[in-house]
Structure 1
Amino acid sequence: MNLLDLAQEISLDPKKSSSTNGGEFKAKCPKCQGGKDRFCIWPNEGKSGRYWCRVCDVKGDGIQFCRDFLGMSFQEACQKLQIHLERYTRPYLSNRPLRRPRYSPKVVSPVSPSWQNAAKNFIHSSHKQLMNEPRIIELLSKRGLSLNTMRQFSLGW
């Protein structure tokens, strides 16, 4: 069974419009229900054919056709088209949930008191320098930072 058979099954009555690449057929679109030649069917492309509506842009292969217009599941569509599932599935993927390694946070040791002192001094001098730069304070204010925020979080320059 191919896409042309499926189209006839839902009474589309496709008409042959070309012999190129095994044939092209036209019919009324089953989705937008318009026209008589906007729905293109290429029954010999791929494993189960291919379709496309030039107006509503619905498109797909035989499996998608079964899902869209016959209300079938992927597995049911494959059975109807006699397509073996292993052609369409990846054997390394399964339905089992992925096992993620348990998170264990890395234990870090506190930095030395001399490093902490140096960092505090750097923050203090940078903050002091910012507070002496009205041009930079104005720039930060225009970006939404209040003077209070700059002081509270010891912003520096």
Structure 2
Amino acid sequence: MSSEFDTVLPSPTTGPVHTPAPAHHFRVQLSSTLRGARLARLLVEQQLEEWGLPRTVPVTRAVVAVTAELSANAVTHGRTPGRDFEVCLTLTEAHVRVEASDTRPDRLPPLPDATTPAVSPPPDTATTGRGLLLVDAFATHWGCERRSTFVKTVWAEVSR
């Protein structure tokens, strides 16, 4: 069965061959401010719609929520005065990947591992600290990597 993401190419020996469509990429650099984080969320929502994923479908809502959290964390915990942050979005047949890169590789988020399968919730009286729980709930996989001495990227993949 063919989908909008398949390209059918004729083959002289076996007939049509289905090859996956290339991934779509979007990248934007924004100021490390709350306004920049809000704009990242809005631009990702708009880009997904341009790629054929309406705002009302669950995967778009999940990706927008993850983008909002990763962007807010980038400007809150990863901000260096005068330096921007970057949001990258990749759409494939299998998933949507969101990346938020900032300039504080010395400040890594607590990541789940074999001994702690999920992010620990904060105390009930805390007014912050639940954002990565949201990322963990929506994402199939997520993590963090240092891209250079000056850049950290937190990423999440949401299944389609």
The interval holding the TM-score normalised by the smaller chain is: under 0.3
Q: Greater strand percent: which structure?
A: 2
Task: Point out which structure has higher relative CO (alpha carbons under 8 A, 6+ apart).
Answer: 2
TM superposition score normalised by structure 2: 0.20
TM superposition score normalised by structure 1: 0.21
Higher radius of gyration, 1 or 2: 1
Q: Greater helix percent: which structure?
A: 1
